[in-house]
Homo-oligomer: A and B are copies of this chain.
Amino acid sequence: MNEASGASATVPSGGNPPHLVDGVVQDLEQLLSDGSYDEVKTLLEPVQPVDIAEAIGSLPLILQALAFRLLSKNEAIEVYEYLDPVVQQSLLDRLRSGEVLELVEEMSPDDRVRLFDELPAKVVRRLLSELSPAERRVTAQLLGYEPETGGRLMTTEFVDLKEFHSAEEALSIVRRQASDTETIYSLYVTDRERHLTGILSLRDLVTADPGDLIADVMTRDVVSVRTDTDQEEVARAIQRYDFLALPVVDREQRLVGIVTVDDVIDVIEQEATRDLYAAGAVQAGDEDDYFQSNLFVVARRRVVWLAVLVIANGLTTQVIAMNDEVLKQVVLLAAFIPLLIGTGGNVGAQSSTVVIRGLSTQRIQALGLMKAILRETAAGALLGLLMLVMVVPFAWWRGEDPLIGAAVGISLMAISTLAATAGAALPLLFDRMGLDPALMSAPFITTATDVAGVLIYLRTASWLLSQGQVGGL
């Protein structure tokens, strides 16, 4: 067997993880073109579904449906869920409608909803109408929840036990349902009205005596989320408690679904990408599909923020133009403008970065908001003082005028302190107002600092100049 096909793949140290599929794709394309379909089956047999999905996605369009048809039914469903939305759609067009229906019918409800989110409304309506009544009802229910909530993230396939079951009965229920549920490791106990009364793990169940009642084995201390809980909070809860799954209840505390840890990892990554993109003034899309977008989508996602920042930068230009008298007298003052506003921007960016991340990971709450802002102010003043020791001697020498050294020194302290305070306070203020604090990330703090910094610098220089003319500096 081909070692590269990933039979027993070990992720090595150093460098990027191996692209297990690289070898597979070439062999696959060759075998498909040759019509050696049995060899394709042998080649793909030991490969993980996610790797098969990547391999199929890399094939020429014309071979994708062919390769997909060679998978066993169960494998096809698993592989399909991992395919890129673009490939999922093109497969829907190329498969026979019977094949499509079988595929969509067998997908787990949460994956089906994620697929429907990407498809044109017309296709969704047609597919919905052709689903079996049970699956149609579940799908319509999930589609009814707001995007990025517990309800959208959950699956409705879970093992539901009753308190009067014995451990032995429960274990045979688990065995029967094992193939139809997303997880059998977290088990849920409900009463006659479907209210969640307790949970137990499969570990609890297999270690219990066969005759024990579920009511005595389960734990009644359940952490749950609601269908309208934000997906980031769902993720935080699973992360905090190290759970494999979390029950989702409606307003009446009835169990309607579960969220599993694998979905939550993707949410944590998606939220981190959003924070990072916000820090770089890039608008994030629904998915991290940036590298599949075309040039105009790329430009559109950036031009809005750039335009806002250019207008803000225009204010800086205005401030300088309105204070050009002092520049006309001492032209070298202009040489220090980028240094001053650059340093202010960097200090402000540092403060906003730690505050925004602290809000995201919910660690800043432990410190208290006022205390966090004051700490950043103090840090800004301290850092300003340290910069001053480096910059003032340079300004004195390079500026050829003691006025410049003095103006640079005073401004540097003021700008650093102000930038650190604003960098901490603005994201916290936005958070308090219910807006996304990441909007007040580095680029905006930097641009705001520019305007204030230039004003402080030129007014200080102008004041020093008037003092000098009187006092003979």
Q: A residues touching B (Cβ–Cβ < 8 Å)?
A: 6-14, 16-17, 19, 45-48, 50, 149, 171, 174-175, 178-179, 184-185, 202-203, 206-207, 220-226, 228-230, 233-234, 236-242, 244, 249, 253, 261-262, 264-266, 268-269, 272-273, 275-277, 279-282, 288, 290-291, 295, 298-299, 302-303, 305-307, 309-311, 313-314, 316-318, 320-321, 324, 327-328, 331-332, 334-339, 341-343, 345-347, 349-350, 352-354, 356-358, 361-367, 372, 375, 378-379, 382-383, 386-387, 390-391, 394, 398, 442-443, 446-447, 450, 454
Distance between Cα atoms of A364 and B16 in the complex (Å): 12
Contact residues in B for A305 (Cβ distance below 8 Å): 346, 350
Closest to A308 in B: B346
- Taking the closest CB of chain B, its distance from the CB of A308, in whole angstroms, is 10
Contact residues in B for A375 (Cβ distance below 8 Å): 295, 298
Q: Are B262 and A265 in contact (CB under 8 A)?
A: no
Listed by A's residue number, 25 A-B pairs whose Cβ atoms lie within 8 Å are A9-B223, A11-B226, A14-B230, A46-B221, A48-B221, A48-B241, A171-B206, A178-B206, A184-B206, A185-B244, A276-B279, A276-B353, A276-B356, A279-B279, A288-B361, A298-B379, A305-B350, A306-B386, A307-B387, A310-B387, A310-B390, A317-B398, A318-B398, A338-B341, A442-B442
Interface centre among A317, A383, A442 (most CB of B within 10 A): A317
Indicate which residue in B240, B290, B313 contacts A354 across the interface (CB closer than 8 Å): B290
Closest to A184 in B: B203
Q: Are B273 and A357 in contact (CB under 8 A)?
A: yes
- Taking the closest CB of chain B, its distance from the CB of A396, in whole angstroms, is 13
Distance between Cα atoms of A225 and B295 in the complex (Å): 37
Indicate which residue in B207, B220, B229 contacts A8 across the interface (CB closer than 8 Å): B220
CB-CB nearest 4 A-B residue pairs: A280-B353, A272-B272, A320-B335, A334-B334
Distance between Cα atoms of A449 and B228 in the complex (Å): 45
Contact residues in B for A288 (Cβ distance below 8 Å): 357, 361, 363
Q: Are A349 and B178 in contact (CB under 8 A)?
A: no
- Taking the closest CB of chain B, its distance from the CB of A24, in whole angstroms, is 13
Known: A279-B276, A279-B280, A298-B379. Contact between A17 and B222, CB under 8 A?
A: no
Contact residues in B for A311 (Cβ distance below 8 Å): 390
Q: Are B328 and A310 in contact (CB under 8 A)?
A: no
Distance between Cα atoms of A310 and B387 in the complex (Å): 8
Contact residues in B for A45 (Cβ distance below 8 Å): 221
